Structure 1
Amino acid sequence: MMLLYLVPSFAQRLPRLEVSSNNPHYLQTSKGKPFFWLGDTGWLLFSKLNREEAIQYLDDRAQKGFNVLQVMVLHELDVTNYDGRPALIDKDITKPNITRGSNPGNQLAYDYWDHMDFIITQAERRGIYMALVPIWGDIVKKGVVSTSQAAEYTTWLVKRYRSRSNIIWLNGGDVRGDQYTIIWDTIGRVIRKYDNQHLIAFHPFGRTSSSWWFQHAEWLDINEFQSGHQDYDQDKSEPAYGEDNWKYIRDDYSKLPIKPTLDGEPSYEAIPHGLHDGNQPYWTADDVRRYAYWSVFAGGCGFTYGHNAIMQMHKPEDANPAFSVREYWNEALNAPGAAQMQYLKKLILSKSFFDRIPDQSILVEPERLKHGYQAATRGEDYA
């Protein structure tokens, strides 16, 4: 089968990102400039928003200082874009549904991948990197994708987008790395084989870290963990860190080889504790701020924010919205937590960057537990 690789011209190229050689706990641009990952969660951006809505979303996130968006490429094998154009032919992951032309006014020409191209280009113009999840974990867990199919599709996807300047590869997708490991390892190896210019991370299941399985994988550049959406009383899984997301950073920070790490999915703003019961309290801006500062002060290379309505791009026409969502995506753009994330980024970038370390020893008071915990960080000339 002949696959076409259509890459539009770029108006602007962003600097390549890399792990810092000065301090591999952190990220930098190829010119050595500090890069603080401030992510937003827009999982269904490619499939739910039209061109005008995507521009509205990207403009807002750029204005609020976000520089990374975590987005699914394929949520399901039957995924379509905003007006029903399927990404795949016959739900076959090895058959991207590519049409001739890319005119958005022509339904016979403007396909799912053209729309994805458009959004990536618009993000690039706004200084935003796209952390792309090639295959969401649920697809793999259903057993409908073989290792060879995953390799063929990933090869095509990487060749299509490897020349883009604003790509980060986000393997996995809310899944444990010890399940279907051969597929996740294959995807990682294929990405690295065909693209040695972009960073690769792995987005794991709730209350786990990619370091549990892939710390020594040559393809993995950045660890992500998902501290998840459960409160202290709800979290019964090992290691039962509950809301203490800083503990995942502490664990990853001490591992060798040294790799940057960050909380890629803390509790989303405006989502119920534990996700599934709308009668539970909802996580607030106070909570997401706490997770952000805790994890970054503990040594994180950044932080990814999320909002219940925006991660699923909830719209009035949605028949089955998830997780007891209470507002639409465009109403949630100005949620207080989203507006406040930029201050953490500004704080970290206002100080010397690569000499920053976590250091609890500088605290005078005894260490407190749970919500009373105080995280401390310092550089050579600040604390």
Structure 2
Amino acid sequence: MKYILFVLVSLVLSNVLYAQNLKISSNQRYLTDENGKPFFWLGDTAWELFHKLNINDSDYYLRTRAAQGFSVIQATLLAEDDGLKKPNANGDVPFIDLDPNKPNEPYFRHVDEVIRKANKLNLVMAILPTWGDKVISDRLGNGPIIFNKTNAYFYGRFLGKRYKNDNVVWILGGDRNPIEESIEIWRAMAKGLTEGDGGRHLITYHPAGEQSSSDFFHNEPWLDFNIYQTGHAKKHMEVYHFAKKDYDKTPTKPFLDAEPCYEDIPVAFWNYMNFDTEFKVHKTILNNDNSLKDTAHFKLGFFGDYDVRLAAYRNILAGACGFTYGHNAVWQMFEKNSSFVIPCITDWKESLQRPGAVQLQHLIKLFKTIPFNELKPDNYILAENSAIDSLHIVASSTMKHSLIYLPKGGTITLKAHQFKKLRWYNPRNGEFTKWQAYSKFQSTSLTSPTKGDKNDWVLILKDKDKLK
């Protein structure tokens, strides 16, 4: 009996130990932990985690991402890939008779275990209570639509109470923009979550592509921070425009890109797929194991590690409080010989070590040397002729530093400044050049160590004295 009591007490203490409950900073620009320490959101998109993976595979996935420096995992309780009817890896569905008033306990026990494994690895779980196709919206999906104001409130309260002591963030929505009828449903779910957990956890909303939660809910009292989805429509998406729009919003709220272009996803994939058919593409472009064979079918190509870096550095230097990575096979936890939502070149395990994910460790390394929470967008430092090959350069400054991201390297012209030092940072391999003395106080031009396609660099200016 004493041993059983010891185990129970240990579990409770363990749960409290890892529950950090993210907060909003005093200046409303970034996130903090419970002790007020700045929290850098480096998320991974794992929408199908609870639905597709058993507990051993979940453990492998979470340990891999924790070792790579990720701090947040985004996952969906009621998944996109027929998550209401198709059982999880244990053979369980989330509800009895598709009724949100009847949660299926075995399904949520599995969710419990995954969340607590993540928290013990110091990973925050950013959880969508449902994918957006289960709520009426501007776009159909697998569904079915099951939520109304009454059961959305019940379901939100159920989740809030169940995960009150866990380290989670709630993300309403799910790749859908609300319409008038659904706004009240999302409000009811938010109310249930808040009443269930006593308001301990932050809440936001995940919209459809090229939209922000601020477009629909910015002034809602339950929306703690904004997320936007810059999406998968084209190369060189102008993520800095999304950032500026949310940066300039009042009241001030933190924001981040929670779904940028995914590594290894086809550009504008929907133009080359038929979602009304079983396989969505002709089987001749697939291998026998359902992986993608004919990549040329997607005529605009695929996003790669360079596109990931472009989105990450441009977002952060434009004022975002973090960044979320995604990979086409990982978000849907695709395994060979299984179904997919969008065709995948590799399976999810192979994809965990793709270059884009690995190179984000260099983003973390950079912000261990310069406090990201003190950055403010500062393109004022750039001379008017500083654009290189029409690729947008983003600059940001603290009281002592300025950072300038050059997508293709090259020569950049600055306005009159006075700094004591400068060096370059390579986002591809995480290497710094040596500090150079720099004390010019006039408009000046500086050239990166290399230049050309995919030769992006960060210029770091240090020890700023004054600015004209």
TM over 0.5: yes
SS in 2 for 1:175: coil
Q: Determine if contact 1:225/1:262 at 8 Å carries over to the other structure.
A: yes
CA shift for structure 1 position 83: 2.8
RMSD: 1.9
**Aligned match for 1:118, one of 113, 118, 129:** 113
CA shift for structure 1 position 29: 1.3
Equivalent runs, 1:210-289 vs 2, <5 Å? 210-231=213-234, 243-276=237-270, 277=272, 278-280=297-299, 281-289=301-309
CA distance in 2: counterparts of 1:69 and 1:199, whole angstroms? 15
Tell me whether 1:315 sits opposite 2:335 in the alignment: yes
- Choose 1 or 2 for highest CA Rg: 2
Q: Determine if contact 1:69/1:131 at 8 Å carries over to the other structure.
A: yes
What does residue 101 of structure 1 align with? none
Per the alignment, do residues 147 and 333 of structure 1 end up closer, same or farther by CA in structure 2, a change over 3 Å counting? same
Runs of 4+ in 1 over 6 A off after TM superposition: none
Q: Determine if contact 1:367/1:373 at 8 Å carries over to the other structure.
A: no
What does residue 385 of structure 2 align with? 366
CA deviations 1:54-84 (Å, max 9, x no partner) are 1110011001110101100112322422132
**Aligned match for 1:337, one of 339, 356, 369:** 356
CA distance in 1: counterparts of 2:387 and 2:172, whole angstroms? 36
SS in 2 for 1:225: strand
- 1:54 corresponds to which letter in structure 2? S
CA distance in 1: counterparts of 2:86 and 2:367, whole angstroms? 38
Deviates further, 323-332 or 178-187: 178-187
Q: Determine if contact 1:178/1:213 at 8 Å carries over to the other structure.
A: no
Per the alignment, do residues 15 and 143 of structure 1 end up closer, same or farther by CA in structure 2, a change over 3 Å counting? closer
CA distance in 2: counterparts of 1:152 and 1:262, whole angstroms? 29
What does residue 137 of structure 1 align with? 132
Count of residues paired in the alignment: 354
CA shift for structure 1 position 275: 2.3
- 2:255 corresponds to which letter in structure 1? T
CA shift for structure 1 position 144: 2.7
Q: Determine if contact 1:46/1:72 at 8 Å carries over to the other structure.
A: yes
CA distance in 2: counterparts of 1:61 and 1:90, whole angstroms? 35
CA shift for structure 1 position 352: 3.0
Per the alignment, do residues 58 and 143 of structure 1 end up closer, same or farther by CA in structure 2, a change over 3 Å counting? closer
**Aligned match for 2:188, one of 165, 186, 189:** 186
Equivalent runs, 1:166-205 vs 2, <5 Å? 166-178=167-179, 180-195=182-197, 196-205=199-208
CA deviations 1:231-289 (Å, max 9, x no partner) are 16xxxxxxxxx710111110000001100000000010000001233423010010011
What does residue 316 of structure 2 align with? 296
What does residue 20 of structure 1 align with? 25
Deviates further, 25-34 or 248-257: 25-34
SS in 1 for 2:172: strand
SS in 1 for 2:36: coil
Q: Determine if contact 1:298/1:377 at 8 Å carries over to the other structure.
A: yes
SS in 2 for 1:43: coil
What does residue 42 of structure 1 align with? 46
Deviates further, 142-151 or 245-254: 142-151
Equivalent runs, 1:72-87 vs 2, <5 Å? 72-75=76-79, 76-87=83-94
Per the alignment, do residues 369 and 218 of structure 1 end up closer, same or farther by CA in structure 2, a change over 3 Å counting? farther
Q: Determine if contact 2:315/2:323 at 8 Å carries over to the other structure.
A: yes
- 2:54 corresponds to which letter in structure 1? N
Q: Determine if contact 1:209/1:226 at 8 Å carries over to the other structure.
A: yes
Q: Determine if contact 1:79/1:87 at 8 Å carries over to the other structure.
A: no
Per the alignment, do residues 115 and 226 of structure 1 end up closer, same or farther by CA in structure 2, a change over 3 Å counting? same
CA distance in 2: counterparts of 1:370 and 1:348, whole angstroms? 27
SS in 1 for 2:184: helix
Q: Determine if contact 1:230/1:273 at 8 Å carries over to the other structure.
A: yes
Per the alignment, do residues 370 and 209 of structure 1 end up closer, same or farther by CA in structure 2, a change over 3 Å counting? farther
Tell me whether 1:52 sits opposite 2:72 in the alignment: no
Per the alignment, do residues 369 and 272 of structure 1 end up closer, same or farther by CA in structure 2, a change over 3 Å counting? farther
